[in-house]
Structure 1
C-alpha cells in the first residue's frame, strides 16, 4: 500500500490544477479582507469592517464551502478514475486504491484548510476591527463545523470514485447539507421523529452554529460531531462497498 500511496502522492503534487485551485481560494480569502478593510477606512460608518463579520462569511456560506470542497476533490482526483483500470490490472486491491486516494486528498485538503484559517485569522486580527473573543469564537465555531465539512468531503470523494456525475453529486450535497432540515421540519408536522431528526440535520446545526457565533454564546457542539460521524460512516460505507464491486473499464 505504501508504494501505491507514494506513487499517487508524487503524481498528485505534479497537478497544476491543484495549485491553481489553492491559489484562487487563498486569494479570495485575502481579497475579502482587503475589501472590508478598504471600505472601513474610507467610510468610518461602514458596519461590516469587523473580524466577526469577516469570519461569519465562512461559517454562513455553506454553498461556497461545498463548492470549494468539490473543486479540491476535482483537482486532486481529476480524471484519475479514468485510469483506475491500470492499477487494478497490476493487482492492486481496490480497497487499497480507495483508501490511498482518500488519505492523500484528505491530507492535502486539511493542510490547505489550516493555511486558509491561519490566513483569515492573520488578516482579520490585523486589518479589521476586532474584539478579544472573536478569534477564539471563530476557532470554536470551526471546530463545530469541521466534522460536517469532513463528512461532505467524504461524500464527494466516494461519489466521484464510483463515477457519479457532477450534477448528481451536487444534488446529493444540497439535499443532505442544505435542505434536510427543511424537509425534516415539514415531516415533523406528521411524525414526532422528524422533529428530533430536524435538530440533528446538517443545515440546522450549521445555522445554529452561525447564530451562536454572532451572539457570542458559542459552545462545543456534540450534536455536530455526532451528525458528522454518522454521515462520514455512511459516505465511506457507500464508497468502499460500491467501488469494490463496480466494473472498471
Structure 2
C-alpha cells in the first residue's frame, strides 16, 4: 500500500492509493496515520481497500507528511561509502547516530526555510524507514525486518556551519524549522522487497547533484534497527533516516549551498518524488 495524508497543515486526512492511483479516504478507519495505526490498523485498511469500501478523496491540494508527527526522528551519519569519502571522513566502525527534532517533519512539497544567519544550508536525499512495532534489545539484525511498517523519502536538510562549526553538536544543524520534508507516500514494506537496492537522486535547479544507490550503505537497514535497539527503545511511528550518498554541497567544488529561490527535487525508486522551494 501507499499511504498518504492530504490537506492543510494540522488538518490532513489519512488516505491510501488504490490500484488506479486514486486516493481513498481512510478517515472512517483511523483518525490519522500514526504509530497506533501502523501497529494495528494496516490490516483493516487493506481489507477495506480490497472490498472497495473506501470513498474517493480529493487530493488536488496539499500533501502532508505520510505519518503524523513521529515520536522520534533518528538519523545515521556517514552511512554511504562515497559520502564519507567526499567529506574526508573515515568509514565508521559503528553507525554514527544523531537525532532530529520531530517537528522538522513537513510535507514533501512544502517550502523549506533557510534559517536566520545561515550561509551553509545543504540537502541530503535519504531512505527513511518507519517502524511498525517496538524494537528493544533485538537479538540480531534478522529480527528487524518484520518491525518495518514501510519506507519513504526524507530530505535531511542540514545547516553545515551550525552542525560542524558551532561547537560540534550535529543536532542543532539538523533540527531547524522545516528541515525534514517527508513523503509523499509511506510505501508499506511488502512493496519494497529489497531496501538495499534502491536508486536515489536529488536535483537542485534541474542539476543532478546526488545519484546513488542504497546498496552502497555502510550499515544496512536491518543492522541499523538492530543497533539502535541496543541503545534506545524504538516505537511504532518512529522514523529512521538512513544516510545520504555523495553529492552534497559540502563535498562539491565551490560548496554550492542553497539560496532563497532554489528548487530541490528528490526521488527514490518506487517511493515517489518530492519538490521544495527554498525561502
Give the TM-score taking structure 1 as reference length: 0.31
Name whichever structure is richer in strand by fraction.
Answer: 2
Structure with bigger gyration radius: 1
